[in-house]
Structure 1
Amino acid sequence: MTARIDHDALFIDGGWTPPRTDGRTSVVSPLTEQEIGSFPTSTDADVDAAVSSARAALRRDDWAGLTPETRARLVRRFADELEKRAEERATTVTRQNGMPVELARFAEGAAPVQLLRYYADLAESTPLEERRASQPMPGTTIVRREPVGVVAAIAPWNFPAVLSMFKIAPALAAGCTVVLKPSPETTLDSYVLAEAAIAAELPAGVINIVTGGPDVGQYLVAHPGVDKVAFTGSTAAGRHIGRVCGELLRPATLELGGKSAALVLDDADVERTVTGLSTASLLNSGQTCYMSTRILVPRSQSRAYVDAITAMASSLPVGDPMDPATFIGPMVSAAQRDRVLSLIDQGRAEGGTITTGGGRVNGVGYFVQPTVFADVDNASTIARQEVFGPVLSVIAYDDVDDAVALANDSEYGLGGTVWTSDEERGIGVARRVETGSFGVNTFNLDWGSPFGGVKASGLGRELGPEGLAAYQQLKSIFLAS
């Protein structure tokens, strides 16, 4: 766990390719603040080579000529190889971004394997063609599903392995090819992905990996050889990608930021609700896009909830993310830590009351104390901006209509939860909140159901059959009989 991880090549066209430059990117541990590895930084020429390789693979019989059943078997073989490396990939992610290792073992180790197997099954069960009776004239139309083509997949640093696979798994199942650009903070684990692809004998060019920062991503997004962009990241970056893809008439799936609300109803059990909020609001130290970080509570019960949420947050184990007991690890970088602390300071200056936390954890590491704000106005900065750290705002409401209005008074619409002893009542509230996903007394992503946002939280959907459809284009073939 302490050995450096250094790589000298890029994964392009099915093997290790020397980069076109001597430029390198260093990776710094958020726990020790020391460099733990490095990798070559891609140039435009490297991106050109990766896209060219993906385009060539898209036309070759060893990929394009496969039946869905044969392709599914190949995807399952890829899953098997990745499963052998699940622990290595999970711990590599933890070393890079500070994710608590028990979470990483599921989200970054097991979940990518599950997704590949899910989409392999879906590829086998989804017909490529269907025949429809033509309207209004007599005849028949064949509606055919074809791969959209070369996919530029750009993944973030918070859940790098599983969010990469949100894109790679359905793309492969659909018969597309992929150029993956991971975040520079979490690129080392993508080399484990490449090793699994080699061991599974995926055809050359089906998956390619380029490295670097926003400049590399911008070049890839606008590349003439790319047919679709799939991006997870900030709303600001997503807006830029959307503008580029709009100009190019290029489809894009954009999973962006969030500022989700937890609506706590007056019949909810306080202890069970607050226990559930520890995960629904603070998973991965709050570095999760769909977290319910605005806690909306009945005004008559606000004091009890502030006390209970404060006690919960202050009791969460903070420390070494490689310790299985740790719940709150460090922020991914010094810049992210400083951003979170700046927003905490702004929340304090705008009148919010900090009931626990509010600062750094003493010693080495990019830690921020779990922080709870009371007396928060929904119009304040701390309630409007995505913090992406272990910071919660408790906001009082008058009645359910007021709670729904507060939840909807946000530019974002990615996640959210409702907490109640009456599930049907909770479902009724869920139907009224403007968001792409929502949980009743929980929030768990379902591989078989669509996930994505509305408003400033993005465009399109990942996961489920809808996630596969996002990597297919439709062709209608009209017949006279």
Structure 2
Amino acid sequence: MTATAIDVETVPSYVRGAWWTPDPAGARGTEVHDASTGELLALVSSDGLDTAGAVDYARTVGQAELGKSTFHQRALLLKELAMHLNAQREELYAVSARSGATRTDSLVDIDGGIGVLFAYGSKGRRELPNSTVIVDGAVEQLAKDGSFLGEHIYSRIPGVAVQINAFNFPVWGMLEKLAPAFLAGVPSIVKPATPTGYITAAAMRMIVDSGILPAGSLQLISGSARDLPDHLDYRDMVSFTGSASTAERLRAHPQIAVGGVRFTAETDSLNAALLGPDAVPGTPEFDAFIRSLVTEITAKAGQKCTAIRRAIVPAGLVDDVVAAAGERIRGRVVLGDPRAENVTMGALASREQLDGVREAVQRMLAAGAQLALGSLDAPGVVRADGSEGTSPDGAFMEPLLLTWPESDADALHNIEAFGPVASVVGYTDVADAVRLAARGGGSLVATVCTNDPEVAREMLTGIAGHHGRVLFLNREDARSSTGHGSPVPHLVHGGPGRAGGGEELGGIRAVRHYMQRTAVQGSPNMLTSLTGIWHPGADRRFDAGHPFRKPLSELRVGDAVRSDLREVTLEDIAAFAETTGDTFYAHTDAAAAEANPFFPGIVAHGYLLLSWGAGLFVDPAPGPVLANYGLENLRFLTPVAAGDSIRVTLTAKKITPRETDEYGEVAWDAVLTNQDDELVATYDVLTLVEK
């Protein structure tokens, strides 16, 4: 098929705040075709694109604009963007169908990507401070008198996040990397794969038209960007998804190898599904295994980095697994153009991709594999108009299952056919199953189907070090599970070895990937000023009125109140024991309490002291404090006996306004001391306070 540069649209890039396409009189672009029909859809070219200018624009305009907002403000923008894209999903589904994706495939890509935006929009507000710095871990005392402290903080990297994505998830691939980088405050340059980059560009146009994201926070390069790493340095990060060979070329680039550019990769993965010896035909675990295997070789036509490539089963069940999978495929899989009704499996993304999968299968057959299900011949398909026949220009392929007489064949554990292909191989015992799974050389995910806790434990301890994620399916979770092949934003996505050695997602962990951890040392007052969190030893204000009378607009970190002493009596302890039913011997039996090495005799309940502490610091009249919603970091340090006294010192430690509500959270540093100023208890009181 041929076309001139003016016959079809060129997929645009979006750089430096504007849409860009190459000069029509320039070099011809790469052709992109409809996966089902072979129709020419578009040309892709970046000839003449100023990649250095795009990097500079991100570092200057993008960094400056994102730096104006806090984590919570960025999180709200992610939520707003998710809602905007969610309202336009149908348009993206129509574009996605051209890549051979069924509606279900498109849901995984498009709705999955939007779901990541929603997740980070929520987690950013729930788990991060309403500021621009994250404090990591506890404060370290570096001087005996408390005048010199150290701690760790995360702050955003000062450069750009370059995100190079694979062809199989053109929307999810962009959004799952964008969300944590944006939340961290780092601008992104997205480079999608050429075969499906037109889908990414369609989503990008919706994003740009919304006007939601700050200037410079997101740019798109459609086409080749081989010179992009040349313009990066230690301030920047490259996140890559694709083949291991391309990842290795990137790792070897001077700016990455020696120039300090951060680099993370998610690459090839010969993922496994392991069937426990207890999961025989007729059990829920066997059924779950078959459902998962068939789903993973047919969803996205098997073009998923998380797809099951090796089904490792008891040697005596190989034929049963093939037969059950074949029955399910014949009963449920309708191959054809995804725009036709009832089609459940579409084409591969391109003819080139089809040729690559066929070539890989041929190599596996030559290495000893046997074709147990399916054919390499051109299959019959359902066309877009509902008619049946072949599609000579389409990239269709039947689901294939291979079996291996030799379970240790190198090709089984080294060759990945990135399509609707899986191998079924037998093991002799659980230790052998673990060994075969590990031969994948490092994988993104493994599924274990068993209802035997001992089998599960042996498999987990054996394979965890070789996998980024392990899913256990049994009769209790098989229906509710998100599935083998579905990374979720809450958990890390990545794996060791041939899987790339990187991590993506994982909740707030992914945000930290785009941040620098720095050890900060200084006085309590200095660290309080730098982090916005009060540190023990920093100044406190006791003479500015009771802090519970102050709304957030007036309350300041360091505002404090110190109570008078209150004496504890035996009658108080006995009354609390009787009222609560907590008659533990340390509070009721003098002889037993004295025999305990921790207590001087009968002592007050810890929760009695906490209750008294609240009574000592609370201001009872209605005011800005709306509710107490918890305690954190509670420790009891010194027992309090009858005759001792306690007092509480309460200090505003951290103030977190909510962007969308008329109140915010305040964490108060609470310290209980006795009449000798010994520490009795330390904890944080959490309250909701009106703005």
What's the TM-score once normalised by structure 1's chain length?
0.91
- Cα offset, 1:404, TM superposition: 0.5
Q: Give the letter aligned to residue 93 of structure 2.
A: A
* Alpha-carbon distance change, 376 to 417 in structure 1, aligned in 2, over 3 angstroms: farther
- Cα offset, 1:234, TM superposition: 0.6
Q: Name the residue aligned to 1:156.
A: 166
Which of the residues 81, 84, 87 maps onto 1:81? 84
Q: Aligned to 1:202, what secondary structure does the other structure show?
A: coil
Q: Which has the larger radius of gyration?
A: 2
Q: Is the 8 A contact 1:449 1:465 kept in 2?
A: no
- Cα offset, 1:242, TM superposition: 1.9
Which of the residues 13, 28, 48 maps onto 2:52? 48
Provide, for residues 202-249 of structure 1, a one-character-per-residue CA deviation record: whole Å limited to 9, x for no partner: 222111111113xx1x32233236700011101111112222222221
Q: Is the 8 A contact 1:57 1:64 kept in 2?
A: no
TM alignment of 1:53-452, pairs within 5 A: 53-60=57-64, 62-96=65-99, 98-104=100-106, 106-124=107-125, 125-127=127-129, 128-130=133-135, 132-137=138-143, 138=146, 139-148=148-157, 149-198=159-208, 199-213=210-224, 216=225, 218-224=226-232, 227-244=236-253, 245-268=256-279, 269=283, 270-315=286-331, 316-323=333-340, 325-362=342-379, 363-364=390-391, 365-377=394-406, 378-422=408-452, 425-433=455-463, 434-441=466-473, 442-443=483-484, 444-452=486-494
Provide, for residues 50-98 of structure 1, a one-character-per-residue CA deviation record: whole Å limited to 9, x for no partner: 21221122342x32111222222222222222222222223322313x1
Partner Cα separation in structure 2 for residue 406 and residue 326 of structure 1: 35
Q: Is the 8 A contact 1:20 1:42 kept in 2?
A: no
- Cα offset, 1:259, TM superposition: 0.5
* Alpha-carbon distance change, 423 to 186 in structure 1, aligned in 2, over 3 angstroms: farther
Provide, for residues 146-200 of structure 1, a one-character-per-residue CA deviation record: whole Å limited to 9, x for no partner: 2223011111101111011121111111100011111111111222232232213
* Alpha-carbon distance change, 32 to 376 in structure 1, aligned in 2, over 3 angstroms: farther
Provide, for residues 448-478 of structure 1, a one-character-per-residue CA deviation record: whole Å limited to 9, x for no partner: 1111010111122111222111111122321
Partner Cα separation in structure 1 for residue 433 and residue 411 of structure 2: 19
Aligned residue pairs total: 471
- Cα offset, 1:427, TM superposition: 4.9
1:29 aligns with 2:38: no
Q: Which has the higher contact order (CA 8 A, sep 6+)?
A: 1
Partner Cα separation in structure 1 for residue 517 and residue 23 of structure 2: 38
Partner Cα separation in structure 1 for residue 201 and residue 441 of structure 2: 36
What's the TM-score once normalised by structure 2's chain length?
0.64
Q: Is the 8 A contact 2:445 2:468 kept in 1?
A: yes
Partner Cα separation in structure 2 for residue 109 and residue 140 of structure 1: 47
Q: Aligned to 1:394, what secondary structure does the other structure show?
A: strand
Partner Cα separation in structure 2 for residue 466 and residue 280 of structure 1: 27
Deviates most, 419-428 or 279-288: 419-428
Q: Per residue, is there more helix in 1 or in 2?
A: 1
- Cα offset, 1:254, TM superposition: 0.5
* Alpha-carbon distance change, 56 to 445 in structure 1, aligned in 2, over 3 angstroms: same
Partner Cα separation in structure 2 for residue 410 and residue 8 of structure 1: 37
* Alpha-carbon distance change, 372 to 209 in structure 1, aligned in 2, over 3 angstroms: same
* Alpha-carbon distance change, 351 to 201 in structure 1, aligned in 2, over 3 angstroms: closer
RMSD of aligned Cα (Å): 2.3
Q: Is the 8 A contact 2:11 2:201 kept in 1?
A: no
Partner Cα separation in structure 2 for residue 219 and residue 431 of structure 1: 43
Q: Aligned to 1:153, what secondary structure does the other structure show?
A: strand
Q: Is the 8 A contact 2:10 2:21 kept in 1?
A: no
* Alpha-carbon distance change, 32 to 167 in structure 1, aligned in 2, over 3 angstroms: same
Partner Cα separation in structure 2 for residue 465 and residue 418 of structure 1: 27
Q: Aligned to 1:388, what secondary structure does the other structure show?
A: coil
Q: Which runs of 5+ in 1 are unaligned?
A: none
- Cα offset, 1:101, TM superposition: 2.0
Q: Is the 8 A contact 1:282 1:291 kept in 2?
A: no
Provide, for residues 427-450 of structure 1, a one-character-per-residue CA deviation record: whole Å limited to 9, x for no partner: 541332121112112424222111
Deviates most, 173-182 or 465-474: 465-474
Q: Aligned to 2:469, what secondary structure does the other structure show?
A: coil
- Cα offset, 1:345, TM superposition: 2.0
TM alignment of 1:2-41, pairs within 5 A: 6-7=9-10, 9-19=12-22, 22-23=26-27, 24-39=29-44, 41=45
Which of the residues 484, 489, 502 maps onto 1:460? 502
Partner Cα separation in structure 2 for residue 452 and residue 51 of structure 1: 26
Q: Is the 8 A contact 1:343 1:387 kept in 2?
A: yes
Q: Give the letter aligned to residue 249 of structure 1.
A: G
1:472 aligns with 2:515: yes
Q: Is the 8 A contact 1:78 1:196 kept in 2?
A: no
Q: Give the letter aligned to residue 133 of structure 1.
A: V
Q: Give the letter aligned to residue 467 of structure 2.
A: T
- Cα offset, 1:309, TM superposition: 2.6
Partner Cα separation in structure 1 for residue 199 and residue 60 of structure 2: 26
Q: Is the 8 A contact 1:101 1:324 kept in 2?
A: no
Identity of aligned residues (%): 25
